Structure 1
Amino acid sequence: MSHRRLHLAAFRTFLVLAAVLVCPVQVVIAQEVSPDAPPYEQQLMRLSEIFGALHFLRPLCKENDVPSWRDQMEDFLDAETLDENRRRRFIERFNQGYRGFSVAYRDCTDAARLAMGQYLSEGETIITDVTSRYGR
């Protein structure tokens, strides 16, 4: 691998790590949670962001998920949101997750596969936690 390509790959990895580390903090500060929001609201917001990231990463790495992560997000929105403002906040987080990776990746890399695996695991943890603690 040439010095220039190695430098470019390192820079892309830095951008993704910066987006993953910085963006969630900014979003929590920027987005207010209403007082009547469920206690698991922040977990669902994070799940929306994970869905967006996976919607970008899985096809990039030639993973053919049926239903797609966008379709899963639509099902989630239909099940979880009656309030239009809340629905918009979830959509914003989905889009943020998508954009966070789309600006840094054009090809499936080892770093993209690692992020994808971590997001799948984190999403599963959130779903398990929320349904076991708050499920009906």
Structure 2
Amino acid sequence: MALLCLLATPALAQQRPRAPQAPAKEAPKEPAPPADVPAPYDRDLMRMSEVIGSLAFLRALCAAPDAAEWPARMKALIEAEGVTPARRDRLAGAYNRGYRGYALTYRVCTPAAHEAAARFVAEGERLSHALAGRFGG
């Protein structure tokens, strides 16, 4: 082992020093994507997305006149609040949770489905007023 160290030392000593290289030019930086920092109202916004997903399923199941509005509302919400891919994914995930939760429970429109939809409409109204009141401009 000591012999290997002694043999390696002269070889290292015989290496020529490299000439200093000019610093490489940095490529122009593209603007960084917006940081995926949660907004103070994200919890309410995710719940709103889940409520909209639940209503999208229940209102369509019960052939309500406003059934087509709920997916459109979610699309508008994602366009307004989905500033990063991760945020869009979280919003869409919450919507899908709400939708699937009721798709697993209901196959036909029942009085309970109507009641659930009415409760979600009321919750959505409370959430939207709270969000607008606390964080709206």
Same fold (TM over 0.5): yes
Higher Cα radius of gyration:
2
Tell me how far 1:36 sits from its aligned partner.
Answer: 3.2
Tell me how far 1:61 sits from its aligned partner.
Answer: 1.1
Instruction: Specify the alignment match of 1:44 in structure 2.
Output: 45
Q: Deviations over 1:7-33 (max 9, x none)?
A: xxxxxxxxxxxxxxxxxxxxxxxxxxx
Question: What TM-score do you get using the length of structure 1 for normalisation?
Answer: 0.71
The list of structure 1 runs, each at least 4 consecutive aligned residues, that deviate by more than 3 angstroms after superposition, is: none
Mapped pair 1:100 → 2:87: no
Give unmatched runs, 5+ long, in structure 2. Answer: 1-34
Mapped pair 1:122 → 2:126: no
Tell me how far 1:104 sits from its aligned partner.
Answer: 1.3
> How has the CA–CA distance of structure 1 residues 56 and 47 changed in structure 2, closer, same or farther, with 3 Å as cutoff?
same
Identity %: 38
Equivalences for residues 46-125 of structure 1 within 5 A: 46-65=47-66, 67-125=68-126
How many correspondences in the alignment? 103
Tell me how far 1:81 sits from its aligned partner.
Answer: 1.6
Higher helix residue share: 1
| CA distance in structure 1 between the partners assigned to 2:95 and 2:122 by the alignment | 17
Question: What TM-score do you get using the length of structure 2 for normalisation?
Answer: 0.71
Give unmatched runs, 5+ long, in structure 1. Answer: 1-33
After superposition, the CA RMSD in angstroms is 1.6
| CA distance in structure 1 between the partners assigned to 2:85 and 2:101 by the alignment | 24
> Helix, strand or coil for the counterpart of 1:125?
helix
Q: Deviations over 1:83-134 (max 9, x none)?
A: 1101100100100100000111111111111110110000010000010111
> Helix, strand or coil for the counterpart of 1:96?
helix
2:72 partner letter = D
